[in-house]
Amino acid sequence: MKTKTMVILVAFAFVMAMGCSVVSAANPIPASNETSGISVYITANAQGSLKSDTDIVFTQGNGNLLNNPPLDANGEGQATIAYVENTVATSGTINYTQSIEVDTASQGASGSNLETVRQIDYSNEGDGDSVGMMHSSESILIEQDATATDGEEGCCMWGDDNGETLPASSVRVEAGSEVNLKEGSVNSDGSARTVSNDIDSGIEITYDVSVEGSGQTGNDKAVGSAEVFTEAIIMEGSGAEVNQTTSMTYEQNVRVNGLIQISMDTEYSSP
């Protein structure tokens, strides 16, 4: 039996923390013969307004994506990584930095197909009228679906030299945050892995975010509201049978308003 872990740590006001560990498995999808990479680094500073939109969707399958759904009943799988970020700041001073790395190649247990880093510092006092606001939201997601396969008799490849029986699985994990601030800073980083030629490398998603005071004002706390969330749906079968033996859902949402500090660390991995 392979092992999957999910750890969620949330801190707000002074401190709040929680964790969860479960047992199951969802397998990574082997890479295609041709792979691609995207690297983007953005730095923006404005005394006035700023608008940023990012939307990434990467899907990898071991069969023909054009025929899905449905998946072939004897061992076809596909996995998706998605990332969305939107920021709008008005009538203030904003410093904005974002870096994104996408690599569709096979990754080891310490690698990622997606890595993101974001740093924002905003104050509505920068233009002198103190009436501006900043809205920013961000989320990262992985989805993996696969039918059971009885070793080499399956329809599709599952990594190098794989001949073991793999059960059916369906996993969806998403984490994110949203803020509406008069002043404050937001720092976040995320990663996701769903593609590997080594089944033992597993799939993984991480998301860390913190909201606190603005470096422009020197205040420890941000002013406004913030929300963080994590959601997961995990289902799995047993052996090569058409059955469901594992089911788990998880939903966590925390919102603060006023003079605020909040942080969340989320990690899901399997195995």
Domain assignments of the chain as residue spans, ordered by start:
4-270
Cβ–Cβ < 8 Å for 33, 62:
no
Q: Assign 3-class secondary structure to the chain.
A: CCCEEEEEEEEECCCCCCCEEECCCCCCECCCCCCCEEEEEEEEEEEEEEEEEEEEEEEEECCCHHHCCCCCCCCCEEEEEEEEEEEEEEEEEEEEEEEEEEECCCCCCCCCCEEEEEEEEEECCCCCCCCCCEEEEEEEEEEEEECCEEHHHCCCCCCCCCCCEECCEEEEEEEEEEEEEEEEEEEEEEEEECECCCHHHCEEEEEEEEEECCCCCCCCCEEEEEEEEEEEEEEECCCCCCCCCEEEEEEEEEEEEEEECEEEEEEEEEC
Residue range 78-119, pLDDT digits in tens: 999 999 999 999 999 999 999 999 999 999 999 999 999 999
**Confidence label for 40 from pLDDT (cuts 50, 70 and 90):** very high
Q: Is the pTM of this model over 0.95?
A: no
Residues for the chain: how many in total?
A: 271
The string of pLDDT tens digits covering residues 138-197 is 999 999 999 988 766 678 888 765 667 888 999 999 999 999 999 999 999 999 999 999
Tokens of 72: 């072939």
Give 240's pLDDT tier (boundaries 50, 70, 90). Answer: confident
